[in-house]
């Protein structure tokens, strides 16, 4: 029996179905998981969730006895209110899988017990189009089969990567968890700069989006690394060289700015541990 068949058989409980929860839910449905196997708890269900409830999804219903997975996708600040509702799943076969920023495995062990298999993961919002990347790490009770199961449900929204230490997840959060926001801001900045150089807003935005998307796809697909791809754009004494002299300035350019950006986000992830 495949992992998704087992999940279909035992069911999966999604605690919190906002931006990330709904991206995962759509990923599972597209992989063929039937709505009947999915239990969702969320005090503010979307119209889409209500429609799925009409097709058999269990919405704010009784706690399933022993689902294969309880996926925690509420905000870290909501954990205290949300976890008591599902604490009864601890100590059984259910794998607790959290995508919450900052909230450590130890917090879940307090609620569910240290014998409960727990996996902590950090996805990102390109999950909404199946192009996310999620890093994951398990507790001592999470064996290879639990990690495989966590990876299978997370693979429905993109790539997965396993970590060796839980501490790494703060850096992951600062880089890829929050990273899409940095790239979206880069698009905004490029478009604004194009406007400042005289382009109409719609044209500047179209050029900025296509440039970031195209460069991202090229970086993923090319055999050459980003440094060589950058060199390929840069003609000696040409336009790119003039631009990069500003962008790559060691004191005032992008390197120290990105370093400080990722450090601030990773630092906030460490703070959220409380």
Ligand X SMILES: NC(=O)C1=CN([C@@H]2O[C@H](COP(=O)(O)OP(=O)(O)OC[C@H]3O[C@@H](n4cnc5c(N)ncnc54)[C@H](O)[C@@H]3O)[C@@H](O)[C@H]2O)C=CC1
Ligand Y SMILES: O=C(O)[C@@H]1CCC=N1
Q: Which residues are annotated as a binding site?
A: 15-20, 60, 73-76
Task: Examine residue 17 and tell whether it contacts ligand X (CB under 6 A).
Answer: yes
| Interface ranges with ligand Y (CB under 6 A) | 101, 173, 177-178
Instruction: Give the separation between CA 96 and CA 66, rounded to whole angstroms.
Output: 11
**Cβ partners under 8 Å of residue 230, min gap 6:** 244
Site string for ligand X, 23-42 (x = CB under 6 A): ------------------xx
Which residue's CB is nearer to ligand Y, number 90 or number 102? 102
Q: Which residues of 31-66 are buried (b: 16+ CB within 10 A; e: fewer)?
A: bebebebbbbbbeebeeebeebbeeebbbeeebbee
- With CB cut-offs between 5 and 8 Å by kind, which of ligand X, ligand Y, none does residue 48 bind? none
At 205, list the tokens: 């935005």
- Enumerate the known binding-site residues for NADPH: 60
103 φ/ψ angles, rounded to the nearest 5 degrees? -70, 115
Q: Which of 5, 9, 19, 91 binds ligand X (CB under 6 A)?
A: 19
3-state secondary structure of 133: strand
Tell me the closest approach of the beta carbon of residue 141 to ligand Y, in angstroms. Answer: 25
Residue with smallest beta-carbon separation from ligand X: 18
Q: Which of 51, 66, 81, 129 binds ligand X (CB under 6 A)?
A: 81
SS3 helix, strand, coil % of the chain, rounded to 5?
55, 15, 30
Name the residues that contact ligand X, by CB under 6 A. 15-21, 41-44, 73-76, 78, 81-82, 99-101, 122-125, 177
């Amino acid at each position: 029996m495949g992992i998704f068949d087992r999940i279909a058989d035992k069911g999966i409980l999604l605690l919190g179905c906002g931006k990330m929860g709904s991206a995962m839910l759509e990923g599972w449905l597209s992989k063929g998981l039937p709505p009947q196997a999915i239990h969702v708890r969320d005090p503010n269900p979307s119209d889409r969730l209500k429609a799925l409830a009409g097709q058999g999804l269990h919405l704010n219903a009784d706690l399933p006895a022993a689902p294969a997975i309880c996926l925690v996708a509420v905000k870290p600040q909501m954990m205290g209110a949300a976890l008591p509702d599902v604490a009864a799943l601890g100590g059984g076969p259910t794998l607790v899988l959290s995508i919450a920023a900052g909230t450590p495995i130890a917090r879940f062990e307090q609620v569910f017990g240290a014998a409960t298999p727990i996996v902590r993961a950090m996805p990102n919002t390109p999950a909404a189009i199946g192009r996310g990347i999620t890093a994951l790490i398990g507790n001592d009770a999470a064996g290879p089969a639990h990690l495989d199961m966590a990876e299978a449900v997370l693979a429905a929204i993109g790539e997965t990567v396993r970590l060796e230490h839980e501490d790494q997840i703060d850096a992951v959060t600062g880089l890829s968890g929050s990273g899409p926001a940095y790239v979206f801001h880069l698009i905004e900045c490029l478009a604004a700069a194009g406007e400042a150089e005289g382009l109409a807003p719609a044209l500047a935005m179209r050029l900025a989006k296509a440039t970031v998307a195209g460069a991202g796809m090229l970086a993923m697909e090319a055999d050459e690394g980003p440094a060589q791809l950058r060199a390929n754009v840069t003609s000696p004494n040409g336009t790119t060289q003039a631009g990069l002299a500003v962008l790559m300035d060691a004191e005032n350019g992008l390197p120290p700015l990105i370093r400080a950006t990722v450090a601030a986000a990773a630092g906030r992830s460490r703070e959220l541990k409380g």
